[in-house]
Amino acid sequence: MSFRLEGRPVSEWIQKDLFKRVNSLVQTGRIPKLVLFRVGERPDDLSYEKSISKLCQKIGILLEIKLFDLNVTQSEIEKILSAANEDSTVHGIMMFRPLPSHLNMDRLSKLIAIHKDVDCMSVMSLSRLLERNQQTFAPCTAEAIVELFKYHNVPLRGSNITVIGTSLVVGKPLALLLANESATVTMCHSMTRDVRFFSKNADIVVVATGTPKRFDATYFDGNTTVIDVGINDDGDGGICGDVDFDNVVDHVKAITPKHGGVGAITTTILLRHVVISCENNGHIKTSCPEIITDTAS
């Protein structure tokens, strides 16, 4: 039986620290505030928004939600985004993606100030990450994976790690973060000729491809630690990962669980970034934590 790399205790550990830090900020008249931008009613956006709202209330972070219908224009959303960007009481800005095709996400992301880009959405934030600049935030899921390793004492220094998937949200920034921890990182993608060769010869494999249950036990060996980042529709009304958990669980050294793995940490990392941003500049009146829903369409 493999060891389960549970994400919930990692999240709870970080939350305890954040609760103390937010209380300290409140004593100085500052409260961290996050503004979320959502276009439309995508079920995955609504689910993530719900988890963010719940955790904001628990920790004591202000949350403002900007809602737009699918016909919102580029200029309309830019105007409201610029206002949030210039508002000194706002410490973090996040926009759910993907956006409708008529909206230019690259242009929108460039409007967000570096210190408010709490999910590393802009090219500028990514470039600073490449430079190991401490004045930027990493993408939340990538950072959550590193926190998972550290909490469970999974050695990174000198480890051979294969990352399957090269997105700007997970794969590429994660490879960079792991390299910064002195790991040797191999990246696999759709044109990699023999993914099994790289995954079976790695100490750790991180899978983030968005392909339901694609990776079975033949991709790993008994000494592999497997991190499954995928969240997919399983076809039966539930969700599943990129790894076929039931097929793999008894054939590897350690693995993230079906539920409560990396995803349980990601939201907490997002809010930690908001708190850090507030600590670094905070100018906000003291008030009780609340959720403000603004239908901006």
Banded pLDDT at 188 (limits 50, 70, 90): very high
Predicted model pTM: 0.91
Identify the bridge partners of residue 161 per DSSP, sorted by sequence position. 185, 204
Residue 97 pLDDT more than 60? yes
Residue 32 pLDDT more than 90? yes
Say which residue, 219 or 126, is predicted with more confidence.
219
- Domain 140-262 in the same topology as domain 3-119+264-295: yes
Percent of the chain with pLDDT over 90: 82
Which spans in 152-237 are helix H? Answer: 171-180, 195-200
- How much is the average pLDDT of 37-64? 94
Residue 221 pLDDT more than 60? yes
For helices 171-180 and 140-151, angle between their N-to-C axes, nearest 10 degrees = 40
Report which of 181, 173, 180, 118 is spatially closest to residue 150, judged by C-alpha positions: 181
Domain residue spans of the chain: 3-119+264-295, 140-262
- How much is the average pLDDT of 218-247? 93
Cβ neighbors of 107 (< 8 A, separation 6 or more) are 74, 78
Banded pLDDT at 287 (limits 50, 70, 90): very low
Positions of E strands within the chain: 3-4, 33-39, 62-68, 92-95, 160-164, 184-188, 204-207, 225-228, 232-233, 239-240, 254-255, 291-295
Residue 295 pLDDT more than 80? no
Fold (CATH) for 3-119+264-295 = Rossmann fold (3.40.50)
**CA angle (178 as vertex; 246, 268 as ends), nearest 5:** 70
Whole-number pLDDT of residue 289: 44
Residue 297 pLDDT more than 50? no
- How much is the average pLDDT of 228-256? 93
Residue 136 pLDDT more than 90? no
Fold (CATH) for 140-262 = Rossmann fold (3.40.50)
- How much is the average pLDDT of 159-170? 96
Over the range 195-222, which residues count as b (16 or more CB within 10 Å of their CB) and which as e?
beebbbebbbbbbbbebbbbbebebbee
3-state secondary structure of 210: coil
* CA 75 from centre of chain: 28
